[in-house]
Amino acid sequence: MHKKKVLIIYTGGTIGMCRTENGYAPIDGYLSDAIADIADLKRPEAPLFDLYEMSPLLDSSDITVREWNKIGEVIYNSYDAYDGFVVLHGTDTMAYTASALSFMLEGLSKPVVLTGSQIPLSEIRSDGRDNLVTSLLVAAEGVAREVCLYFSGKLLRGNRSVKMSADRLVAFDSPNYPHLADVGISIIYNRSALASPDDKPFRLQRLSEIPIGVLKVFPGIQFSLFETIMTEKLSGIVLETFGAGNIPSYGGELIPMISKAFKGGAVVAVCSQCPSGTVTLGAYETSSQLKRAGAVSAFDMTTEAAVTKLSYLFSLDISKEKIKALMEESLRGELTK
């Protein structure tokens, strides 16, 4: 029987970090030695794998569009040679990278599983071993044929995932979407939640560096302070609003700013600060003005998905009206209307 083969792409992050005098940092070559010590990966049930180490290795706080394009290119160039892909990544921005890749990898029909760890493999009690071994199995199995994120017993849709905890081992969840699989003694897939890949040919859409701003409103926010940020220089603005899409209406300051950015060509997407639930523009007076000003609803999308989706849509050669329309449609299962 053909033995499944997975490509591990190592970008950096805690999983491969070692202690240095300035705190944890990724060390070139360390991860391949650490992986060679994982006995489970030598078992006959384990898939074959190759390791691709990116350079430089990064703390994921330093990940940019450049690295997203690089990861996308590695997957694209080796797509036919492997049954699936595991991307080892820092946890801090893993949900952003997972979201970005979900949009960039058009027509994907193989698993791409992002994982990492809260405790490095170089330390006792590392959660990296299970995260890596299970991710490899998921990538080889080919049941979840989409961009997903595996962490501490949960397989999540990548563009629905959020980092929930800075210190718990169960660090991720997808509050607005069921788990793709729950992993205990067995890997139990939730088949009705899995994406059904379409027949489109596999293609990589590289991202351009799109000027995007995120503004989180809070009680008493002085909008005038943000006037210099909310300009026509921005292509996309993600507003993190209260509850179902509400903003403070005092002073009528935000709407003129949004209208200005909107006239300058920006697309304004409205997310909620609540981890779960959806935006319903117009449900309250304090949100209907956003709709009138031309903002679009991000429904139950995460901020990570909204930011990367804007980045993806602006990288395509399509009109602003089309971008607005697509922001409100599900492209990769990132939102529920």
Q: Residue 228 burial by CB count (10 A; 0-12/13-18/19+): exposed, middle or buried?
A: exposed
- Residue 186: CB partners within 8 Å, gap ≥ 6? none
- Of residues 310, 235, 220, the one with CA closest to residue 271: 310
State in angstroms the smallest separation of the CB of 283 from ligand ASP: 36
CB atoms within 10 A of CB 199: 6
- Residue 124: CB partners within 8 Å, gap ≥ 6? none
Q: Which stretch binds ligand ASP (CB under 6 A): 68-76, 85-93, 258-266, 296-304?
A: 85-93
Q: Which stretch binds ligand ASP (CB under 6 A): 40-48, 53-61, 123-131, 186-194?
A: 53-61
Q: Single out the residue of 4, 13, 289, 300 in contact with ligand ASP (rule: CB under 6 A).
A: 13
Q: What's the per-residue H, E or C state across 213-278?
A: EEEECCCCCCHHHHCCCCCCCCCEEEEEEECCCECCCHHHCHHHHHHHHHHCCCEEEEEECCCCCC
Using CB under 6 A as the binding rule, whether residue 67 contacts ligand ASP is answered as: no
State in angstroms the smallest separation of the CB of 5 from ligand ASP: 26
Q: Which stretch binds ligand ASP (CB under 6 A): 84-92, 149-157, 225-233, 290-298?
A: 84-92
Where in 114-143 is the site for ligand ASP (CB under 6 A)?
A: 116, 118
CB atoms within 10 A of CB 179: 19
State in angstroms the smallest separation of the CB of 148 from ligand ASP: 18
Q: Single out the residue of 8, 82, 91, 271 in contact with ligand ASP (rule: CB under 6 A).
A: 91
Using CB under 6 A as the binding rule, whether residue 311 contacts ligand ASP is answered as: no
SS3 62: helix
State in angstroms the smallest separation of the CB of 229 from ligand ASP: 26
Q: Single out the residue of 19, 29, 37, 61 in contact with ligand ASP (rule: CB under 6 A).
A: 61
Please tell me the distance from the alpha carbon of residue 68 to that of residue 206, in angstroms, as a whole number: 8
State in angstroms the smallest separation of the CB of 156 from ligand ASP: 16
* Residue 219 φ then ψ, to 5°: -60, 125
The DSSP string of 265-324 is T-EEEEEESSSSS---TTSSHHHHHHHHHT-EE-TT--HHHHHHHHHHHHHSS--HHHHH
Q: Which is nearer to ligand ASP, 115 or 278 (CB)?
A: 115
Minimal CB distance to ligand ASP: which residue?
90
Using CB under 6 A as the binding rule, whether residue 60 contacts ligand ASP is answered as: yes
Is 280 in the active site? Answer: no
Q: Single out the residue of 46, 49, 59, 236 in contact with ligand ASP (rule: CB under 6 A).
A: 59
Q: Which is nearer to ligand ASP, 17 or 207 (CB)?
A: 17
Q: Single out the residue of 16, 72, 90, 333 in contact with ligand ASP (rule: CB under 6 A).
A: 90
Please tell me the distance from the alpha carbon of residue 8 to that of residue 78, in angstroms, as a whole number: 11
Q: Which residues sit at the interface with ligand ASP, rule CB under 6 A?
A: 12-14, 59-61, 90-92, 116, 118
Catalytic residues: 14
